Amino acid sequence: MNQHIFTSDLFGPWVQCFKMQGSGNDFVLLDNRELRLAPSEMAGWARAVCRKAFGMGADGLIFLDKSHDRADVDYFWHFFNADGSRAEMCGNGSRCAARLAFELGLAGKEHALGTDAGPIKAEVFPEQDLAKVQLTPARDLQLNIALTLEEQAFNVHFVNTGVPHLVVFVPDVQSVNIPELGPRFRYHPRFAPGGANVNFVQIVDSGNLLLRTYERGVEGETFACGTGAAASALISHALAHTGVHVQVKTSGQDLLGITIDNDSLFLTGKAMLVFVANLNLRALGLVLPTQP
Ligand SMILES: N[C@@H](CCC[C@H](N)C(=O)O)C(=O)O
């Protein structure tokens, strides 16, 4: 039996996990090099572990895995939203993964993480509790899309910064009714079948944005969304509202730094290990995989 997976007569088996947060976007991380779950088993684990009250509660579950001999990355991940949907990428999650990979000795301070969206270059600054990632090149940029929601006209923008994002500029982000508006944009037929994350953005000045994000797969507002912050800064820059360096204040009141350097997009912010814990699989209705 592995040192991080052990059985207790009373409750077990238990699996060690790491609870992290990147600017308030919270994740549970598991080391799948030891656990060896098959990808087909992971969605169920995400739903059980991320469930509030019954599980640990989190926006997503991340499995760190071997690089499987890929020369371009140091390790690979499997990222799942709280509802069990697999996402190609997560900006804040990748910063947390990079920090943990460094702390576990899986990779150096500068390394590359393999995601479904492509390799992500990461740099960890442990003394400042910061991690920086270079996102995949932005694609599918569409500015000024006219959308009608129940006879109300909106001008929205779209870009994929690893995952799909809608950006809606508003005069006062605090007054947006996100529980009502978020799902209506997220499920708009124009973005079917996958839908999109929805970012409501208030421009403060040429270097600062306020952002609230309704996230796909969490199906609610999160305290921060990294790829959403990058999408907002990129579109704001394309519309000449802001420059190439932008500070984005998210609902959790943390700052995410975005730098646009030609086709490269960088995301910097806090990545903190909150606690290390042991998950009781019996309580979660989960079982250990049958090891090959
Ligand atoms: N919070 C993440 C994005 C996670 C994936 C997203 N919910 C989706 O399914 O598209 C971030 O920090 O980028």
Where exactly are the structural domains of the chain?
A: 5-133+272-284, 139-262
Mean pLDDT of the chain: 95
Q: For 240-282, write each residue's pLDDT tens digit.
A: 999 999 999 999 999 999 999 999 999 999 999 999 999 999 9
Mean pLDDT of 210-221: 98
pLDDT of 67 above 90: no
**Complex ipTM:** 0.99
Q: For 72-110, write each residue's pLDDT tens digit.
A: 999 999 999 999 999 999 999 999 999 999 999 999 999
Which pLDDT belongs to residue 186? Answer: 96
pLDDT of 179 above 70: yes
CA pseudo-torsion sign 75, 219, 229, 189: positive
pLDDT of 291 above 70: no
**5-133+272-284 maps to CATH 3.40.50.11540:** no
Which pLDDT belongs to residue 292? Answer: 56
Residues 6 or more apart whose Cβ sits within 8 Å of residue 44: 84, 286
Residue 165's nearest CA partner among 133, 117, 203 is: 117
Q: For 81-91, write each residue's pLDDT tens digit.
A: 999 999 999 99
What residue spans of the chain are helical by DSSP H? Answer: 32-35, 39-50, 91-103, 178-186, 226-238, 281-284
Mean pLDDT of 198-224: 98
Q: Residue 196 CA: which ligand 1 atom is closest? A: 10
In angstroms, the Cα distances linking 69 to 7, 65, 187, 280 are 32, 11, 38, 32
In this chain, the answer to whether the domains covering 5-133+272-284 and 139-262 adopt an identical fold is yes
Global pTM? 0.96
pLDDT of 1 above 60: no
- For ligand 1, is residue 25 a contact (CB within 6 Å)? yes
Residues 6 or more apart whose Cβ sits within 8 Å of residue 90: 25, 27, 60, 62, 79, 162, 163, 226, 227
Distance of CA 173 to the CA centre of its chain: 21
Q: Residue 230 CA: which ligand 1 atom is closest? A: 13
Q: Is 280 annotated as a binding residue?
A: no
Query: Predicted confidence band at 4 (pLDDT cuts at 50, 70, 90)?
Result: confident
- For ligand 1, is residue 226 a contact (CB within 6 Å)? yes
- For ligand 1, is residue 117 a contact (CB within 6 Å)? no
Q: Is 226 annotated as a binding residue?
A: yes
Q: Residue 226 CA: which ligand 1 atom is closest? A: 12
Residue labelled with tokens 């996230």: 215
Torsion angle, CA of 250/28/126/209, rounded to 10 degrees? -10
- For ligand 1, is residue 216 a contact (CB within 6 Å)? yes
Indicate the SS3 state at residue 179: helix
Question: Tokens representing 56?
Answer: 């640990």
Query: Predicted confidence band at 143 (pLDDT cuts at 50, 70, 90)?
Result: very high
Give the residue, by CA position, lying nearest to ligand 1 atom 4: 90
Which pLDDT belongs to residue 281? Answer: 94
**Which phi and psi angles does 44 have, rounded to 5°?**
-65, -40
Give the residue, by CA position, lying nearest to ligand 1 atom 8: 216
**What letters, b where the CB count within 10 A reaches 16 and e where it falls short, cover 6-36?**
eeeeeeebbbbbbbbbbbbbbbbbbbbeebb
Residues 6 or more apart whose Cβ sits within 8 Å of residue 143: 157, 235, 238, 239
Q: What percent of the chain has pLDDT over 90?
A: 91
**Which phi and psi angles does 244 have, rounded to 5°?**
-85, -15
Which pLDDT belongs to residue 2? Answer: 64
Catalytically active residues are 90, 225
Give the residue, by CA position, lying nearest to ligand 1 atom 1: 225
139-262, superfamily in CATH?
Diaminopimelate Epimerase; Chain A, domain 1 (3.10.310.10)
CA pseudo-torsion sign 163, 169, 173, 176: negative
- Distance, in Å, from the CA atom of 139 to the CA atom of 165, rounded to the nearest integer, reads 11
Give the residue, by CA position, lying nearest to ligand 1 atom 2: 90
- For ligand 1, is residue 229 a contact (CB within 6 Å)? no
